[in-house]
Amino acid sequence: MLHLCSNLHFSIKTWSFLSMLFILAFFTTLNYYQHSRPTSLFYFNSFITSATNYTLATYLRHLTLHPHLAGTAPSLHTALYVKSHFQSLNLQTHVANYSVLLSYPLFSSVIIHFPNGSVLSLGLVEPGFSSSGVVKPYHAYSPSGSAYGEPCFLNYGREKDYIALGASGVKVKGCVGIVRRGGGLSRNEMVEKAAARGVKAVLMFTEGEFENGVERGTVMNGLGDPLSPGWGGVENGEKLRMDDPLVMQRFPSIHSLPISMKSAEIILKSLEGPEMPYEWRKSMRCSTSGRLGPGPIMINFTYQGEKKMATVHNVFAVIRGSQEPDRFVLLGNHRDAWTYGAVDPNSGTAALLDIARRYALLMRLGWNPRRTIILCSWDAEEFGMIGSTEWVEQNLINLGSKSVAYLNVDCAVQGPGFFPSTTPQFDNLLTEITKKINDPDSEGKTLYERWTAADRGIKIQRLSGVDSDFAPFLHHAGVPSVDLYYGRDFPVYHTAFDSYNWMVNFGDPFFQRHVAVTGVWGLLALRLADDPILPFNYLPYAAELQDYTRILSKLLEGRNISLHPITAATQELAATAKETLDEAKKLKVDKVTDERTALKRRILNDRLMFAERGFLDAEGLQGRPWFKHMVYGPRNDGESELYFFPGIANAISKSSGGEEQNAAIQHEIWRGARAIQRAAHALKD
């Protein structure tokens, strides 16, 4: 009996000890899963290893079954598909709708009249797509009307092209201009420059491998709904009248239409007149007579379109932050397409859906981000970044006070090669992330190794262009931004051939490039959402500004203009950036978790986040006040070689060297300097 009791006593002690060990192990494990951040090996690797090219291919296949132009029923179906995907992952999901002015074609024709009396009607529909539901090629917001005149080749339609035409004795007034895409100009700039010289109408073509492909696009000036400039175009909200001057100035004054390279060749081969400049001829991929025109053929051009109100749908998934829910990391991609949109934009949409899937998996493993992550699926980007712009305008105060970063992917995969664009505080973080991703086109190499070998070092572009949904975030709201692409340009851009078949045959047959872009995009967001100290480094920003100043110094040499204000402000930013980096390093190694240290981290993060807002100027750019960023933004003259300091670039392009023009440049230099100083003061402790 005593022996039995002794054994029982031992058993109870043993089980108590084992139970205590089990409870300790359980809470240790629970504590690890609750407090381990995705920057730790566990969650980081879980995100990377959960990638599957098959899943990405499946998403893309579903998204591209039908053409889905914004404002149409198939476009609504893709919105519902994205929404249901987010909901199936148990992510908080909502939709923001906007009532906006869109533009669609009704009728178009281009008839060539030859000197011998014969006529030829150009085919304006891509072969094989007449009954597929693909919209006929057109320029959104082109005015309706007709034109009859001799054709004349305008090259890219730049100022120097018109100078060359004048030197050759060609008078373009009254002609129908034939323009090839490129040369740094937007479609709107090409058309407006032609209108300023008396050209009656513009036919625009793109040179490429698909001679029957026609590049659709918008010719509207500016971003967002033209009827609600500066505020969100919500249902029952204020709308300007169609004849309001603010609305009218958004649209070109002459008609335009895109045509295929094959159609352009028919016209260009028939031209007579002076010889084409040698530089033009040697760069052309299409066949021509080598002549500029005008004539002797005549072109009868007609376009009828309609501008009408339509509802567009932005779809969001929100993963609420556990410690800083009022700090947002936004990942965005637009969903609407001119046609099937396999590359543009749904390679990016497939990546966004896969990131949602992989984040949901991490959440099932116990992860919750420190900061809130918002996945954004935009509508009506192709018409002028309308969906994203309306949302930014409606939520400007919240975005300005709470947004950490906006990470954009449009055409995730166009072909080979990694081509990132960022504001410079991301440079170090992006470089670090690419070392974690396998290169899709090289066995045993990282994306970083292939990228740096191809570019002979780090090459990151900047975000002065207005060509995707980062524009309202950076240029209007001052949110630090990233734009990622795999591949540069692709031959089926905005044509009916941008299909799933093109992607699997040419763009990314095994969807490994999709995996790479998704990896970079998702890991960037994980770091930004979870690092206790935001991984921003403003030293590259200061270095970039110093480079810009050296370029300006050479450009303005010999003129009575001083760059000292920018030089001094940049030096202040560089010094502050160094101090901030040292402060961040100290706080990273400080493991104290009391409220005082947490507050220090919060204050530092706010400074790192708000510094970009300092580059905004309330008055905006001269002539384009909606664009407020003084370092990155669009130039009024797209031909300027300066891709930075848009206000200074605009003043230089207008200058003929007189004292009044010099004073205007000097004023813009001071505005740029004050913006840099504001950023430095925001960053400073």
Which residues are known to be catalytic?
381
176-180 sheet: strands from edge to edge? 151-153, 176-180, 201-205, 255-258
- Tell me the helix, strand and coil percentages in the chain, rounded to 5: 45, 20, 40
| CB within 8 Å of 507: residues ≥ 6 apart | 342, 343, 347, 413, 414, 415, 487, 490, 513
Query: Is the separation of the CB atoms in 495 and 213 below 8 Å?
Result: yes
Backbone angles phi and psi of 377, in degrees to 5:
-110, 105
Tokens at 266, concatenated: 């028919």
CA pair distance 55, 350, nearest whole angstrom: 9
Q: Give which of 347, 323, 378, 343 is closest to 495, Cα–Cα.
A: 343
Please state, in angstroms and as integers, the Cα–Cα distance from residue 299 to each residue in 144, 148, 174, 271, 496, following that order: 16, 6, 12, 12, 25
CA pair distance 81, 274, nearest whole angstrom: 55
CA pair distance 348, 56, nearest whole angstrom: 10
Instruction: Using CA atoms of 417, 420, 426, 430 in order, give the dihedral in degrees to the nearest 10.
Output: -20
CA pair distance 240, 656, nearest whole angstrom: 38
CA pair distance 312, 387, nearest whole angstrom: 7
CA pair distance 121, 108, nearest whole angstrom: 11
3-state secondary structure 537-554: CCHHHHHHHHHHHHHHHH
H-helix or E-strand spanning residue 250: none
Query: Is the separation of the CB atoms in 617 and 670 below 8 Å?
Result: no
> To 10 degrees, what angle do helices 564-589 and 659-683 make?
10
Q: Give which of 445, 446, 429 is closest to 437, Cα–Cα.
A: 446
CA pair distance 525, 406, nearest whole angstrom: 9
| CB within 8 Å of 201: residues ≥ 6 apart | 145, 147, 149, 176, 177, 254, 255, 256, 257, 301
